[in-house]
Amino acid sequence: MATSVLRVEGIAKSFGGVQALKGVSLEIGQGEIHCLAGENGSGKSTLIKVISGVHEPDAGRIEINGKHFSHLSPIEAIKLGIQVIYQDFSVFPNLSVMENLALNMELMDNRKFMNYKRARKIASHAVAQIGFEVDLDERVENLSVADRQLIAISRALLQEAKLIIMDEPTSALTKKEVKALFAVIKQLQARGLSILFVSHKLDEVFEISERYTILRSGENVASGNTVDLDRKTFVYHMTGRQFEDTHYEAPAGIGQPVLSVKGLSLSGAYSDISFDLAPGEILGITGLLGSGRTELVETLFGILKPDSGNISIKGKEASIKSVKDAIKHGIGYVPADRLTEGLFLPQAIRRNLVISVLDQLSSRLGFLRTRAIAETTKKWIQNLSIATKNPEFPVRTLSGGNQQKVVLARWLANNLSILMLNGPTMGVDIGSKYDIHTLIRKLAAGGLAIIIVSDDLPEVLACASRILVMRDGAFIQELDPSATTESMLSELSTGIA
């Protein structure tokens, strides 16, 4: 290994009697891209905060560039060249790109007023370091997630970073944006910077990192060179569980279509879409962002209105002009962004579970039947194995996988005929992902008709009984998952061999 930029040994940290870290060690060399992996709750975030000075460890030692510390303050960590880019990027959405980039420098120089000529020079230098082309006067709230991330990286470089820690940097990025980010990371590595890449996504870990450290339940379970690791071993280290690769096959003799779409078109989104969906099928729709995949399912759920075409439910033409119409026809929809579109985060798990069936849990006079609500809540927590100690806890206290189960439970309580899932495991860890896939297959085997919209190709191959590839607003090919590979799907989705 090259000269160590960071070495932590025996780091322990507890909160209120809960041991978050139990003697964790980690070492990163100069110019190394190192992956810190682990499921939610494994201790990754706590370790990051110890390294960056946010938390003081209860025990252990930190070594940065050969200097030893029992603990650091955030200012000390920054001065030693450590920069953390969190998932929210810590940018000011109401300020311009230039102001976001120059503000820290102005504050560190103890300036009371910002000199905009100097600020523009600072910002121009920052973005030029990674070849980032952006309007410096644009408000950050108007930029894409990928551009906000590049702003955070540019700002880190202004502070003479030696080690950049990226916390789940790809959680909200498209595959194209991930590829662009990886190019920037490789560029930083070529300049001698070290990167600690925090993730639970297997494909990305194998693609970008040279070495890895895996945590589970606050402890080291494995570390080494990424080239010496295979997927099954990686998953086992992360979860402590063995998973088998499976394909879902729809039951034989699945019967007449529960959903038929004929010639559906929406200007600027998709055109002449036709397909059938039978009970027990899992139809996978995959394609790049902008292919029309999300607009299609949002039309089926009444969010968008088509320009032409017909939708039939159980053999009868259906008029779906609103979400209310879709629900009446037995259609449920789990959106891609559960945090802003699918859940009421401050509200109790119980309330989130029953919100869509309150009319069924009310008396004739409109009073809520407390016992019925409690029974319904208990039923779905048990049926979906939602991990919570108390259904009165806010839903934001759950892990990403359990939050997704709450959204699923809400729709399943409606006795659906059709369930549409847009990015069903986006942002959840490996163990939860496997559990959700198992649940989806179980629901389909029980007769539910399911549509999965995803650009997670292994997910589509694992769950779908039939795949439709979408590109430029049209279905270009139907595939059998058992005879299809990830590379085939990727080529068809992008049009690039």
Residue 341 has pLDDT above 80, yes or no: no
Would you state the pLDDT for residue 456? 87
Q: What is the mean pLDDT of the chain?
A: 90
Q: Which residues pair with 222 in a beta bridge?
A: 214
Residue 437 has pLDDT above 70, yes or no: yes
Q: What is the pTM of this model?
A: 0.77
Q: What are phi and psi of 27, to 5 degrees?
A: -135, 135
Name the band, by pLDDT with cuts 50, 70 and 90, for residue 112.
low
d(CA 237, CA 229): 11
C-beta of residue 443 within 8 angstroms of C-beta of residue 250: no
d(CA 458, CA 448): 22
Name the band, by pLDDT with cuts 50, 70 and 90, for residue 106.
low
Joined tokens for residue 315: 């053999």
Would you state the pLDDT for residue 123? 92
Average pLDDT over residues 471-481: 95
Would you state the pLDDT for residue 442? 92
Would you state the pLDDT for residue 214? 95
**Domains of the chain with bracketed CATH:** 4-239 (3.40.50.300), 259-494 (3.40.50.300)
Average pLDDT over residues 211-238: 94
Would you state the pLDDT for residue 338? 65
Would you state the pLDDT for residue 370? 84
Residue 160 has pLDDT above 90, yes or no: no
pLDDT in tens, 344-389: 788 899 988 888 776 777 767 777 778 888 898 999 899 888 889 8
Residue 78 has pLDDT above 70, yes or no: yes
Residue 492 has pLDDT above 80, yes or no: yes
Joined tokens for residue 366: 């409109």
Residue 439 has pLDDT above 70, yes or no: yes
pLDDT in tens, 225-260: 999 999 889 999 999 988 887 889 888 777 789 999
pLDDT in tens, 117-141: 888 999 999 999 998 999 999 999 9
**Residue 205 corresponds to which amino acid?**
V
Residue 103 has pLDDT above 90, yes or no: no
pLDDT in tens, 30-41: 999 999 999 888
State percent of the chain over pLDDT 90. Answer: 58
Average pLDDT over residues 298-322: 96
Residue 425 has pLDDT above 70, yes or no: yes
Task: Give the Cα-Cα-Cα angle 373, 374, 379 (nearest 5 degrees).
Answer: 100
Between 280 and 433, where is the model more confident? 280
